[in-house]
Amino acid sequence: MIGERLNNAINEQIKNELESYYIYLSMAAWLHSKSLDGMGHWMRCQAHEEMIHAMKLFNHIIDRGGDIVLQDLKQLKTQWSSPLEVFQDAYEHEKFITGKINDLTTIAREERDYASEPILAWFSDEQTEEEAVSSKITAELEMVGEDKSGLLMLDRELGGRAYPAGSPLDPVAGAE
């Protein structure tokens, strides 16, 4: 059974992951409103991944006999000045989440909760990947600068990301 201290910290992280879902969905909406549909699609895929992250932690608490307490989500930013600012925010957000995963790992070790180690290691690997990807796209947008054709090329490239099967965020799947 999971201890109260780690249980509470994971409940907080479920909130952080659901806020991540909400943040990326908000970014997707803004990108679509600017006709950057490839980037909007990429953000929808990212939002889907965040929902999966929240549910992995949700399921872990259930499996460990803990108590899930869902918390309020904070008010979100809804407007950006450029796609570059969107991806800069995404990169900063992923660094913030990495810090939270590190905090959880510290708590799990202090509490000698070895059963949480595999899932926290999974999250740590995932954060390495998410920081790398959001940092790379940010750097590419910086290179593109004011070049509209470069922006459109990047938009097309990001539009090639695959949705997880059956995602409710996929407008094609949602229309079925």
Q: Is 44 in the site for ligand FEO (CB under 6 A)?
A: no
Distance CA 155, CA 57 (A): 32
Please say which residue, 50 or 113, places its beta carbon nearer to ligand FEO: 50
| DSSP for 101-168, written as a single string | HHHHHHHHHHTT-GGGHHHHHHHHHHHHHHHHHHHHHHHHHHHHTT-HHHHHHHHHHHTTPPPPTT-T
Q: Is 151 in the site for ligand FEO (CB under 6 A)?
A: no
Which of 15, 39, 42, 130 touches ligand FEO by CB under 6 A?
130
For the chain, strand residue ranges (E) read: none
Of 2, 9, 14, 20, the one binding ligand FEO (CB under 6 A) is 20
Q: Enumerate residues 59-118 that contact ligand FEO by CB under 6 A.
A: 94, 97
- Would you tell me which residues interact with ligand FEO (CB under 6 A)? 17, 20, 50, 53, 94, 97, 130
